[in-house]
Structure 1
Amino acid sequence: MAKIVIVDSGVNKEHKKLKNTTIDGIHIFLDEEGNVKTNDDISDSYGHGTAVSAIIANNSTGNELFMIKIFEEDYQVEEEALLAALEYVYEKCPCDVLNLSLGVTQYESLDRLEDLCNKIHDRGTVIISAFDNFGQISFPAAFDNVIGVDSSPGIRSNKSFHVVKNSCVNILARGGVQRVAWSDPEFIITKGNSFATPYITCVIAEALNAGVSHKDIPEFLKANAIEEIDYSPICTDDKPLPFEITKAAVFPFNKEMHSVVRFHDRLSFAIELYDVRESGMIGSNTSIKIAGTNYVIKNIDSIDWTADFDTFLLGHNEELSLLTGRKLTEFVLEKCIEYKKNVFAFDDLSKYPEYLARLRKAGCKYYYPQVDMCDVPRNSFDKLYYISKPVLMVCGTSSAQGKFTLQTELRDRFDSDGFKVAQVGTEPSALLYGYDAVCPIGYGANVRISDYKFVSAVNRMFFEVSKKDCDIIISGTQSGSVPYNYENLKNIPLYSMEFMMGARPDGVILCVNAFDETEYLRRTIFTIENLYDTKVFALALFPMVFENNWAGNSGLKRPITEKEKEDFTRNAKERLGKEVFTLDCADQYGMLYQRTLKYFGEEAC
C-alpha cells in the first residue's frame, strides 16, 4: 500500500466522492507575523484539494492518503508555507508519493526549495508537481528530481500520458475540461495542470504497489506512455569558455575598444595597445581621445610576438580590413597559433573553423561572446522564468550616450553602500570587467537566433544570474529603444526589444539627448512602459551635443549649455512628467543613484 501525501487546500472528507476514503492530515499556515503554525483543521473551504483527493481516491485503490493543507479561500500558494510543508514531509511524514498540484512562479528561496525536494527524493519519495496554468516556468515542477506535469488537449483518458524527453516538462497528461469534485458547489467543470497531476500520481502509486522500485519509475513511465516526445538538443558543439588573462595585446584602437582603455582600472590584467599605420594613431597617446589615460599606441606590424603577453584581445576589424586591404583576423590568428597566444575576440570566430582547430592543437584558448541555440532552454513549451531579483535597465534614444558609463557609475555607488550587484552586459567586452553574463547585441552583434528563441535565451540568462547572491541586476540595451523612422531595417532595434522582453526589467533609466524631439521621447517612454510593463523613472541627459546636426553621430561634439540643459529639463518635467539628471558631474550621478534607490525601495514594490 503506497502512502500518498497531498499538499493542497485541504479536503472535504464528507464529499460523496470520498465517502469510502479515510484521509488524515495537518494544517500548516503562517500567522500575521509570518511564523509557521499548525493545527488539525484540514477542511477545504475552496475545493481544489477536494478535487485532487477525489481524483486520486477514485482512480487508484488500496493507498493511504494524507493531506497537508497550506492554503484556503483562493489558489494562492505562499512560498514559506510550501517550504514548511516540505520540511514536515521530510522530517515527520515519510511517504511513497508526494502530490503537489501547485507551485510557485515567484520565489525568494529557490535553492532551499530545491534542496528540500532533493532530500525528499533521495529518501525514496516520488514527487509529482503541476506546472503553472498560465504558461510560466514554475517550481518545484521544473526541478530535475521532480516529475513536472503539464496538460495535452489530445489526452482524454485518465491514465494515458506522454513522456517528454529533454525538456523541463516530463509528462503530458489529462488536464482538459472535466467534471471534478468541489466544496461549494459540489462539482464544477474546470481544467488545468492541477488535475492532470493526480492522474499521474495514481499511475505511479499503482506501479509502486506492483513492485516497481522508486528509482525505476522513470523507466516505467517511459515504457507505459502513449508516446515519448524527444526534444533532443539542437546544439551539439561545445561553446568556448572565458579564461583568465594576465596580460593582453589590444587591437585595434577603435570606438568599441575605447571602453577597455577608459575603464582599464577595472581590468584584472595589463594591456598594451596596437593599431595599423593607416589609422594615423601610431605613436599617439590615448589621452588625446580618452582623458585621464596614458597608453602609447603601437604599430601592429612591429609587435614583438615573443613578448610576455598571454592573450591577444582582438576587437572589431571588418571595416579596418577593408580599408587596409588586409585579412586582419586571419593575420592575428595565424600569429597566435605560431607564438601560442590565447585569443579573446569581439567578432564571431566560428567563421574560421580551421584556425580554431589549429589553436586547440597548439594548446591555445580562445573565446568570443555569442548567443545561439546552446543558450535556448531545452524545450520548455514556451514557458518563461520569473526573475526573482530586481532588474534595472539603462536604455537610450540613440548610440553614444554614455549608457555603459552610467551602468558603471551606478554599480560603484551600489557597491559602496554594501549592495551586491550582478550585471548582464550587451557589449562583447562585458566579461572583461567582471560582468556575470554577456549578450552581445551591439555593433557586430553575435546572435545567431531571433524572435521567441532569443527572448527565451535572454530570459534564461537573467534567471541564471538572479540565482546568484545579489540584491539587484544592472543591464543596458544598445542604441535606440524604438525606431526613429522606418526607412531602413537597421533603424528597427529588434535585438534590444527582444532583449527587454526576456529581461523583464522592473525599472528603466532612459538616456536622452538635448536635441531629441519631445514626441519621439514620448513615444519611446510610452513603448517601454507599456510593451515591457515597467516604469521609466528617470531621464539621463547626455551632456554633449553635435555642432552640425546634418553630420549625425559623425559630427563634432560640444558641451551642452546651461540654457539647453534648463530648457530640456523644464520641457521633460512639464510635457513628459519625468525627472532629468545631466550626466556631467559626480553630483548628478549621485542624485540619479538616490532616485534609483528611492524607486526600487518604495515605488517599484
Structure 2
Amino acid sequence: MITEKISKPFKADIVIIDTGVDIKHELFGDKAFFGVNIYNRDDKIYVGTNIQDEIGHGTAITHKIITICPWASVFIIKIFQQDREVDENILLRALEFIKENIECNVINISAGLTICTRLHDLQQICKELHNDNIILISAFHSDGSLSYPASFKEVIGVEMGMDYKNDDEFDYVESDFVNIIGRSGRQKLANISSSFQYVEGSSFSTAVISGLVLNYLHERNSYTFNEIMTYLKIHAIKVYEKSQSVVDNSFGFELRKAIAFPFNKEMSNMIKFHDLLSFNVTKVLHVKYSGQVGKLVSEIIGTKVDKDFVIENIDSLDWEAQFDTVILGHTVELSKKMKKDINQEILKKCIKYGKNLYAFDPLLNYDVLIQEARSNNCNVFFPTVDKNQLPAHRFGKLCELSTPVLGIFGTSSMQGKFTLQLVLRSVFKANGYEVGQLGTEPSSLLFGFDEMYPMGYNSNLSVSRHEALQVINDKLMRIERKQVDIILVGSQSSTIPELTTNTAFYTFKQIEFLMATNPDIAILCVNVDDDYHNVLKTINAIQSLSRANVLSLVIYPVIKKITTNNLYQLTKPSKHQLDEYRIGLQEMASLPVFILGINDEMERLYEQIIHTLS
C-alpha cells in the first residue's frame, strides 16, 4: 500500500531508508507498506509516493528486518532510483522528513557518505532525531572509510565482519565511531520481481541490529539510548573496551609575554610573522659565544622586520622580569658545543622562577624535572607523536575530506616551505577565509595552527607507518570539523631521496605525510640551482602518490653552499641567474613559477589557488 497523503504524525515502528521495497513480492503477503520516495530533479528535491524498488537492496533489507520482527509496522523512504549513489541532499531531506512527519522508534539507514559537504547539517538533524529518542542505526560504506552518518556519535554505526556463525552474532565496540561489527556472510533474501538473491555486506548486519533493537523495544514502554547500548553490549560475542581518548597535542596554556632562546632559523619566523602570534615576544637571546649577541635580528636574517630586536646574552637575563613563557628552540648542537645540558638548565630556571616552557626538542629524558615543574604550576610542552594520539577502534577506517587541502612540499631542506605556509595563512586570513592548518614544524602551534605533526629536525615519532596515516588523518578530520574553508599542510625537507647511498637519505616520513594528507592541489618549493630532472621527478612523485595536481613552483631565492667547516653559506643569486633559471623551469615543467618573498608574486600565487579551487 502506498499513501497519497501522510497524516501527521504518521506512526511506525521503523523507518527504512533504502532503495524502496517490492510491495508485490509474494514473501510479504498482505503486509502493508507506507512510504515516500525522495528524489532530485534539476537540482531540486521532491517528495513523491512511488516506493517500488527498482534495484532490490531495499527489498532484501526489509525482508531481513521483518523476518526478525514480523509484527513491526514499516515506513519506507526510497532515496535511490536507478543506482545506489548517495545524494547527501536527498539523505538529509529524508531525515528532515522523518523529523517533520513520522513518529517512530528506529531508523535503519543503508547509505554511507564518504565525502559530505553538508556534514554539519547532517549531524545536526541526526542530533535532533537522537534527542527525540529515535534510535538511528546506519551501515558503514563498503569501501572501508569513516562514512556518514554511521560515524556520528548519535548513530549506531555498524561495520561488517566475517568471524560469526549465526546472523544475530556481533561484537560491541566502545567508540564514538564504529559501534557494532556484525556478520556479513552470504544469505538468501528477497529481490525485486518476487525473486530471491544472495547478498552480503554491512547493510545486512545493520538490518539484523535494527531487528534486535526493535524486539528489545517491543517489550518496553520506555527506553533510553544508553539502555539500548547496554543491551547490545551484554548480548555481544566480544566487547572492544573503551580506550583513552586521543591526546590533544595543543600546549594547553596561554602565552602572553614570551622570550625566545636560542635564536635560530626556526625562531626567525616568529619575528618576521609576529602579527600571526597571539602573544608578544619580549626578548630574543643567545649564548655569548654565538657571535649574535648585540646584533639586530634583521641583521642576522638579512631582511627588514616590523619589530626588530637586539639579541641579548642568555646569561644576563633577569628571570624575575615580566614574561610568562620561555620558547626554547633546538639545543642539541648548542649543548654539545657548550658542553652542558641546556634543556636541563632552562627547565630548572623555569621551575625556580615560575615560568612556562614551550620546547622545540622532545624532552623525553626529563620526566622528574617536568613533573616537578607541573607540580609547581609551571606548564611544560614539547612536540611528540606517540600511540596516545592514535585513534582507537577505527579498524583502519580513514576520513575522506570534503574541505580542499593545499599541500606544500619541497625538493630539499632549507627552502622556505614553512615561510610559504605562513605567507599563505596570512593572505587567506586577510581575505576573510577560515584557514585550517596542519604543520610539521615544532613552532606550528605558536602561530595558531590547529594541529601539529612534528616530523622535522630532532623530532620524535613513536608510531608505525600505518599508525602515522591514522594519526595524520585524525588530525585533518578534527580540523575539517571546525568548518574551515581550506586546509593547509606543509611537509619537511625533500619529498623524494636526494641520494640513495645511505638509509638516512630516504624520505619515508615525507612519503607517509604526502599519502596521509592526500592534498587536492600542491605547491612545490625548489632551489634556484635544483636540477630540472629532479624537480620533474618530484612533481611526478607527488602526483602519483596522492590525488594532487602540482599547481605551481615557488623558487627559494637563496643559493646554499657548504663551507669547509661543513656549514651552509647562504648567498643571493643575481637577477640574471634567477630569471634564467625561472624561464628554464617554466619551460620544463609547463607550470607557473613564483619567487618566494616577493609580495606581488605571493598575491598572484594566492589568486591562482583561489581560481583553481573555485
Task: Find out whether 1:543 has 2:553 as its counterpart.
Answer: no
For residue 489 of structure 1, what is the aligned residue in structure 2?
Answer: 503
Q: 1:99–1:127: 8 Å Cα contact kept in structure 2?
A: yes
**Are positions 1:451 and 2:462 aligned together?**
no
Separation in structure 2 between the aligned mates of residue 594 and residue 76 of structure 1, nearest angstrom = 34
Q: Does 1:517 align with 2:527?
A: no
Change (3 A) 1:552 1:400: farther
In the TM superposition, what whole-angstrom CA distance separates every residue of 1:39-84 from its partner, at most 9, and x where no partner exists?
1111111222111111112232210011011121111111111111
The answer as to whether partners of 2:525 and 2:556 remain within 8 angstroms in 1 is: yes
Residue identity opposite 1:251 in structure 2: F
Distance (whole Å) between structure 1 residues aligned to residue 538 and residue 484 of structure 2: 30
* Per-residue deviation, residues 102-153 of structure 1 (Å, max 9, x unmatched): 1211112222222221221222221110011011001111111211111111
- Partner Cα distance (2:432, 2:194) in 1: 54
Q: Which residue is equivalent to 2:270?
A: 260
1:250 counterpart residue number = 260
Most deviating of 439-448 and 139-148: 439-448
2:40 to 8, 16, 30: 30
Q: How does 1:268-417 map onto structure 2 within 5 Å?
A: 268-290=279-301, 291-293=303-305, 294-417=308-431
Give the 3 Å change call, closer, same or farther, for CA 478–92 of structure 1 in structure 2.
same
1:240 Cα deviation (Å)? 6.8
The separation in 2 between residues aligned to 1:591 and 1:234, in whole angstroms, is 43
Identify which of 19, 24, 43 aligns with 1:14. Answer: 24
Residue in 1 that maps onto 2:543:
529
What is the correspondence of 1:126-141 to structure 2 with a 5 Å cutoff?
A: 126-141=135-150
Q: Report if the CA contact (8 A) 2:12-2:75 is conserved.
A: no
1:82 corresponds to which letter in structure 2?
L
Q: Which amino acid aligns with 1:117?
A: C
1:213 to 216, 223, 226: 223
CA contact (8 A) 2:17 2:77 kept: yes
CA contact (8 A) 1:2 1:209 kept: no
In structure 1, the residue matched to 2:178 is: 169
**Alpha-carbon contact 2:150-2:156 (below 8 Å) kept:** yes
Equivalent of residue 447 in structure 2, options 433, 438, 451: 433
Residue-by-residue CA offset, 1:275-333 (whole Å, 9 max, x unaligned): 11221222222122122242111111111111111111111101111110111111111
Name the aligned partner's letter for residue 292 of structure 1: K
Task: Give the drift of 1:202.
Answer: 0.9
2:297 and 2:518 mapped to 1: Cα distance?
38
Question: What TM-score do the two structures reach when normalised by structure 2?
Answer: 0.93
CA contact (8 A) 2:138 2:158 kept: yes
How many angstroms apart in 2 are the aligned matches of 1:545 and 1:274? 27
Deviations, residues 171-205 of structure 1 (Å, cap 9, x unaligned)? 11122233332226933333211121101111111
Displacement of 1:166 in angstroms is 3.7
Asked whether the equivalents of residues 12 and 103 of structure 2 are also in contact (C-alpha less than 8 Å), the reply is no
- Segment of structure 1 superposing worse, 160-169 or 387-396: 160-169
**Corresponding letter in the other structure for 2:446:** L
Shift of 1:598: 2.1
Contact 2:249 2:451 in 1 (8 A): no
Contact 2:351/2:376 (CA < 8 Å) preserved in 1? yes
Whether the 8 Å contact between 2:403 and 2:487 is mirrored in structure 1 is yes
Output the amino acid matched with 2:264. N
- TM-aligned CA deviation for residue 206 of structure 1: 1.1
Distance of 2:385 and 2:557 partners within structure 1: 33
Measured at CA, do residues 47 and 568 of structure 1 come closer, stay the same or move farther in structure 2, by a change above 3 Å?
farther
Kept in 1, the 8 Å contact 2:16–2:62? The answer is yes
Q: Does 1:470 align with 2:470?
A: no
Deviation of residue 234 (structure 1)? Answer: 8.8
Q: 1:37 to 1:2 in 2, by over 3 A?
A: closer
Distance in 1 between residues matched to 2:506 and 2:196, nearest whole Å: 52
**Whole-angstrom distance in 1 between the partners of 2:61 and 2:268:** 61
Cα distance in 2 between the residues matched to 1:248 and 1:593:
32
2:5 corresponding residue in structure 1: none
Instruction: Confirm whether residue 201 of structure 1 aligns to residue 213 of structure 2.
Output: no
> Is the CA contact 2:497–2:507 (under 8 Å) kept in the aligned structure 1?
yes
Match of 1:3 among 13, 26, 45: 13
Paired with 1:360 and 1:84, the residues of 2 have a C-alpha distance of: 51
Letter in 1 for 2:255: I
**Residues 596 and 552 of structure 1: CA distance in aligned 2, closer, same or farther (over 3 Å):** farther
Q: Out of 72, 77, 81, which is 1:72 matched to?
A: 81
Q: Does 1:117 align with 2:130?
A: no
* SS of aligned partner of 1:127: strand
Aligned AA for 2:107?
L
Q: Which amino acid aligns with 1:390?
A: P
Note the C-alpha offset of 1:551: 6.9
Could you tell me which amino acid in structure 2 is paired with residue 487 of structure 1?
A: T
Distance across 1 between alignment mates of 2:425 and 2:566 = 27
Alpha-carbon distance in structure 2 between the residues aligned to 1:184 and 1:473: 49
Residues 18 and 57 of structure 1 are in contact (CA less than 8 Å); yes or no, is this contact kept in structure 2? no
> Is 1:8–1:70's contact at 8 Å kept on the other side of the alignment?
yes
Distance 1:115 1:124 in 2: 14
Cα RMSD after superposing both structures: 2.2
Q: CA deviation at 1:348?
A: 1.6
Change (3 A) 1:542 1:206: same
Question: Residues 438, 185 of structure 1: CA spacing in aligned structure 2 closer, same or farther, 3 A cutoff?
Answer: farther
Paired letter, 1:114: Q
- Identify which range, 74-83 or 550-559, moves more after superposition: 550-559
Stretch moving more, 557-566 or 95-104: 557-566
2:580 paired with 1:588:
no
CA distance in 1, matches of 2:397, 2:128: 26
Contact 1:167-1:380 at 8 Å conserved across structures: no
- Given that 1:166 and 1:233 are in contact with CA atoms closer than 8 Å, whether structure 2 keeps it comes out as no
Segments of structure 2 that go 5 or more residues without pairing to the other structure are 1-10
Please tell me the residue identity of whatever aligns with 2:609. Answer: T
Is the alpha carbon distance of 1:508 and 1:306 closer, same or farther for their aligned partners in structure 2, counting shifts above 3 Å? Answer: same
Secondary structure (helix, strand or coil) at the match of 2:112 reads coil
1:557 aligns with 2:570: yes
The yes-or-no answer on 1:41 pairing with 2:54 is no
CA contact (8 A) 1:240 1:368 kept: no
Contact 2:112–2:150 (8 Å) recurs in 1: yes
Q: Measure, in 2, the Cα distance between the counterparts of 1:388 and 1:240.
A: 24
Aligned pair in 2 of structure 1 residues 398, 64: CA closer, same or farther (>3 Å)? same
Under a length normalisation based on structure 1, what TM-score does the superposition of the two structures give? 0.94
* Whole-angstrom distance in 2 between the partners of 1:284 and 1:173: 68
Q: CA offsets per residue over residues 332-382 of structure 1, 9 Å max, x none?
A: 111111111111111223421111111122111222232222222122010
| Preserved contact between residue 253 and residue 273 of structure 1 (Cα < 8 Å) | yes
Report how many aligned residue pairs link the two structures.
598
Q: Which amino acid aligns with 2:488?
A: I
Q: Deviations over 1:552-599 (max 9, x none)?
A: 994433333344334433433433332222225222222222221222
Structure 1 residues 18 and 552: alpha-carbon distance in aligned structure 2, compared to 1, 3 A threshold:
farther
- Tell me the secondary structure at the aligned position of residue 284 of structure 2: strand
> Percent identity over the alignment?
35
Point out 4+ residue stretches in structure 1 off by more than 4 angstroms.
237-240, 548-553
